[in-house]
Structure 1
Amino acid sequence: MMIPLLFLLLFLRPFCSSAPRLSERDDCLLENSKLRQKLKTLQDLSQLYEFQLKDLMGNNYHRQRSKVISAKGPVHQEQPWPTTSGNLLVYDQDGGGWTVIQRRSNGKENFYRQWTDYKEGFGQFQGKNDEYWLGNDKIYDLLLREENSLKIDLRDWLGEERYAIYDDFQLKNETNHYRIYFGTFSGNAGDALSGGSNFEDQWSTSLSGMPFSTPDRDNDRFLTGSCAEENKCGWWFNRCHAANLNGLYHKKGKYTGTFDNGVVWFTWRGLWYSLKYTAMKIRPLSFLGGQSGDGETS
């Protein structure tokens, strides 16, 4: 699978071998850099699909699906593997085929970061309780080829768990500020991505079509302030949110303050309860007939 990529590398080498005028040389170097970045993305995707193919060939997913449906608790395995960018992708067999793009579990990782950090990704990827953001560029690349589902796992400080699933999950590129789009909701956590409980709340908190914001790049609809700065994180903000999984990690759940800036999912625990655990994960809608990791059809 890697052989075509080697040929592509050989193909890239001659682009700047001549000695044109300075402006042409700069243009050539820029184009070469873009091509090499695209090659790196292709290498990451190639490695991901190769891993998934090997995993599919070595497992009986009809039996796995039956096990998930009949189990009393969550049944999943996680397998990290490196990418050419130095980060790891986490492949989660919660019903099969999920790629974990975000996780909060202990508050050890700092999510109060700048645009470039969220673009490239950050955090620890080795252990099952490590916290991280995969990176907006990588998420965009993973979503680009076909329709995908988004599954969000939530856990409060009492150990109660809920989940939300959205079909047709999409992310635009950096030029379009990584705008988020999603389709039909299912699950038992409530549809917080679509906003609050009434039309007025939804107008100001629905995240559909909203651009990504960070403390150093304010793209929200809040004209008199910055949602990203108030919430100390990067996220998709309206004016501001009913769901924010990258907020401050307030331990023990309930918290007070000037801003509702915790790890929140309004339609379950409200804005003033910070969740203990969250995970965002994606997979193609076609995978196993679109079945969720909870034995239900998404």
Structure 2
Amino acid sequence: DPCNTNKPGNRNVSCSQLKRQGHSKSGVYEIYILGKPLNVWCDMTSEDGGGWTVVQRQSEKETNKSFFERDLEAYKREFGTAEESFWIGLEHLHALTSYPNGQQALRIVLDRSDERKEKTAVYYNKFHVASKEQNYKLTIEEYDHKKSTSYDAMSDQNGSGFSVKTYKKGKEEYSCFKDTLTGGWWFKVNECNYANLNGQKLHFITPTTFPRGITWYNRMNTKSYNYRYHKGEMQIRDADFGFCTGSLKS
């Protein structure tokens, strides 16, 4: 039964399952990943039905702009707290996106902090992170243009491995790759990157600092490299969630 609320086994492994079991309040819940308990934030009240497991968050309360500047070993594990800035860990991401018959959808939510103060939600119906042996390669496909309110910036990085960049002081030339990037992400090699949700949380953007910040680039709007964000989240849930809850019909 693909809609078994306890797949796999008898322990909850996602907020999707918890939602189907009747949990309706957003907050911290315990799920099991790789056989061990982990506290995560579940978004149960989004307008699309909830059931989203937050796997990454740049909190609006975060004051450390370099929170996501860590080495690869740190990115393999979870860091932060479920209530605030958080990274669930590459090993956990691989496990959560690799269950048999458990294709995952991805929802990205961004809140701008500049004068527009726009909220963005972007949806992909297929999201997978490969194993350590495959350098945690990203598979991101099936951008949902009907539900999304912003440009598909992340498909350009489909197939990229995960790597960590450290900003090198003094490399101030106008450049959108190499020494000016920060954080850990599925960076493209020697090319401009249209998305990086683990960049620095900058209060001011200039032509020499924009590659270091949180990035969601719109090819139709070159100014989008300069947008500032005070909050960002990556959320996943079962791709069959809508069908299993009855909101979609076969």
Deviation at 1:211, TM superposition (A): 0.4
Cα distance change on mapping 1:228 and 1:275 into 2, 3 Å = farther
Letter aligned with residue 213 of structure 2: G
The equivalent residue for 2:5 is none
Does residue 121 (structure 1) correspond to residue 85 (structure 2)? The answer is no
The equivalent residue for 2:162 is 212
Letter aligned with residue 154 of structure 1: L
Relative contact order: is structure 1 or structure 2 higher (C-alpha 8 Å, sep ≥ 6)? Answer: 2
Greater C-alpha radius of gyration: 1
Bigger drift between 227-236 and 96-105 goes to 227-236
Partners of 2:133 and 2:39 lie apart in 1 by: 25
Does residue 134 (structure 1) correspond to residue 60 (structure 2)? The answer is no
The equivalent residue for 1:278 is 232
Partners of 1:92 and 1:113 lie apart in 2 by: 26
Deviation at 1:149, TM superposition (A): 0.5
Paired-residue identity, %: 24
Deviation at 1:55, TM superposition (A): 4.4
| TM-score when normalising by structure 2 | 0.73
Give SS of 2:141's match.
Answer: coil
Please provide the CA RMSD for this pair. Answer: 3.2
Q: Which structure has more strand as a fraction of its residues?
A: 2
Q: Which structure has more helix as a fraction of its residues?
A: 1
Residues 33-112 of structure 1 aligned to structure 2 (within 5 Å): 47-49=11-13, 53=17, 55-58=19-22, 77-81=26-30, 87-93=38-44, 94=46, 95-106=49-60, 107-108=62-63, 110-112=67-69
Partners of 1:181 and 1:122 lie apart in 2 by: 23
Match of 1:289 among 220, 243, 248: 243
Does residue 262 (structure 1) correspond to residue 213 (structure 2)? The answer is yes
Does residue 161 (structure 1) correspond to residue 113 (structure 2)? The answer is no
Give SS of 2:110's match.
Answer: strand
The equivalent residue for 2:141 is 183
Letter aligned with residue 164 of structure 2: T
Unaligned 5+ residue runs, structure 2? 1-7, 167-174
Deviation at 1:81, TM superposition (A): 2.6
Cα distance change on mapping 1:207 and 1:46 into 2, 3 Å = farther
- Structure 1 runs, 4 residues or longer, greater than 6 Å off: none
Give SS of 1:183's match.
Answer: strand
Deviation at 1:172, TM superposition (A): 0.6
| TM-score when normalising by structure 1 | 0.62
Cα distance change on mapping 1:52 and 1:114 into 2, 3 Å = same
Contact 2:14 2:53 in 1 (8 A): no
